[in-house]
Amino acid sequence: MAPLLLFSCKPKPKPVEAAETVQIRGVYGNPKPLWEKGYDLNELGVNAIFVHSGSINPEMVDRAKSEGLKIYAEFATLNGKGYVEENPEAWAINEKGEKVEAATWFMGVCPTEPGFRKYRFDQLRDLLLEFNLDGVWMDYVHWHAQFEDPEPILPETCFCDHCLDEFSHDSNIEIPEGTTSEKAQWILDQHDTTWRDWRCKVIYDWTYEMKNIVKEIKPEALLGLYHCPWDDQEFDGARRRILGLDYDLLRETIDVFSPMVYHGRMERDPNWVKENILWFGDRLNIKKGEYPKVWPIVQALNGPETISAEEFETVLRGGLSGTSSGVMMFTTSAVAEDKSKAQVMKKVYTERMEKME
């Protein structure tokens, strides 16, 4: 990884021109469940699909393109499940010097480990060369943690040899000899602010490198980011402090921010979605018609409680608040299985189409 303290000297990737702006009415997930129910996505007002990269195939791309849909691939960037088990050198290490435990459903990875970085960047290149995509949405872009629960899992990481060496080099700080836990405690006691800043730059570097790969292979494609929707103060500033998400850095590389405003999973009131999107637009000083864009992803899927059609309409409209220029919902299956939710989506999306005309 290039020295992180030299980031300011790197030429910034060129932003996408405003002429490429699209008003997004999206669905997240394989569109097959909706197609199998006989739905025409155009009639539902949908103009974009966001699909996990592993689910994309030529038949899906051909049909989506024939219906005039934009195709965006969700790319599980720092999800280490299936990799760290075979490559233990990429396992994240906590402040006690121990391998982190998998969260409820997420297994992170050390984001500085060279082998994993090459593995993911090669995957991205292959994906872009194989399919005609309109963009790539980075997912799981944070240090090992889990934020989509009312009580998030927020460990201190990563104190592996890769990270300690990179931090020492990039920050020009000599770490005293000792055990991993002793080194971690010394850093947290003596250089906490520098440590937090460095971790944010590591995450930024991932977006920087991926932006360059996307623009090299498909210059017109967008780079999006699914991310934690917490504000600057929630959980003692854990979005930046633990997850490593610094909006002021990320806006330099991200074309579209997609806050994951899953009100049900996070046990928030449905009106929180609107409040959050209004706050986010102000926080990043988002301007309509300019990049970066805001296209939130809202919850239609039941869990842990049932999401009613009325709630779904509230969060879908909330996602279109403020300077948001698009929205998508999670997931296609949840809407395909519930006619009332499909009707809500059609109503909101077709209204949006009329406003655009």
Residue 43 lies in a domain: yes
Structural domain including 215 reads 22-154+203-356
25 bridge partner residues: 327
Residue 171 lies in a domain: no
Residue 190 lies in a domain: no
**Closest listed residue to residue 331, CA positions, set 20, 18, 27:** 27
Task: Decide: 256 and 293 in contact? Cβ < 8 Å.
Answer: yes
201-233 pLDDT, tens per residue?
999 999 999 999 999 999 999 999 999 999 999
Residue 178 lies in a domain: no
Tokens of 269: 């009131």
> What is the share, in percent, of the chain residues with pLDDT greater than 70?
93
pLDDT value of residue 355? 56
pLDDT of residue 186 exceeding 60: yes
Section 273-290 average pLDDT: 95
132-185 pLDDT, tens per residue?
999 999 999 999 999 999 999 999 999 999 999 999 999 999 999 999 999 999
Task: Decide: 69 and 47 in contact? Cβ < 8 Å.
Answer: yes
Residue 17 lies in a domain: no
Q: Considering only residues 342 and 19, tell me which one the structure prediction assigns the higher pLDDT.
A: 342
In this structure, what DSSP letter does residue 291 have?
S
- Mean pLDDT of the chain, nearest integer: 93
Domain total for the chain? Answer: 1
Q: How far apart are CA 235 and CA 241, in angstroms?
A: 10
> What is the share, in percent, of the chain residues with pLDDT greater than 90?
90
CATH of the domain at 113: 3.20.20.80
In this structure, what DSSP letter does residue 157 have?
B
- Residue with the two structure tokens 């849909």: 69
Residue 29 lies in a domain: yes
pLDDT value of residue 357? 42
At 68, the amino acid letter reads G
Tell me the whole-structure pTM to 2 decimals: 0.93
Section 337-351 average pLDDT: 96
**Torsion of Cα atoms, 285 then 144 then 50 then 247, to 10°:** 10
Residue 185 lies in a domain: no
Residue 105 lies in a domain: yes
Helix (H, G, I), strand (E, B) or coil at 302: coil
Tally: H helices and E strands in the chain: 12, 9
Section 103-125 average pLDDT: 96
Q: How far apart are CA 81 and CA 215, in angstroms?
A: 28
Q: Considering only residues 239 and 103, tell me which one the structure prediction assigns the higher pLDDT.
A: 239
Q: How far apart are CA 63 and CA 124, in angstroms?
A: 23
Task: Determine which helix (DSSP H) or strand (DSSP E) holds 50, and give its type and residue range.
Answer: strand 48-52
**Closest listed residue to residue 111, CA positions, set 9, 40, 205, 37:** 205
pLDDT value of residue 354? 53
pLDDT band at 17 (very low <50, low <70, confident <90, very high): very low
What is the DSSP track for 228-244? ----SSHHHHHHHHTS-
Q: How far apart are CA 171 and CA 75, in angstroms?
A: 30
Section 57-75 average pLDDT: 96
Contact partners, residue 34, CB within 8 Å, separation at least 6: 27, 41, 44, 332, 335, 336, 342
| Helices 309-318, 339-356: inter-axial angle, 10-degree rounding | 30
Q: How far apart are the first and last CA of the chain?
A: 47
pLDDT value of residue 123? 98
Q: How far apart are CA 199 and CA 1, in angstroms?
A: 13
pLDDT of residue 129 exceeding 80: yes
Of 72-86, 246-260, 319-333, 342-356, the one with minimum mean pLDDT is: 342-356
Section 302-325 average pLDDT: 96
Q: How far apart are CA 204 and CA 198, in angstroms?
A: 10
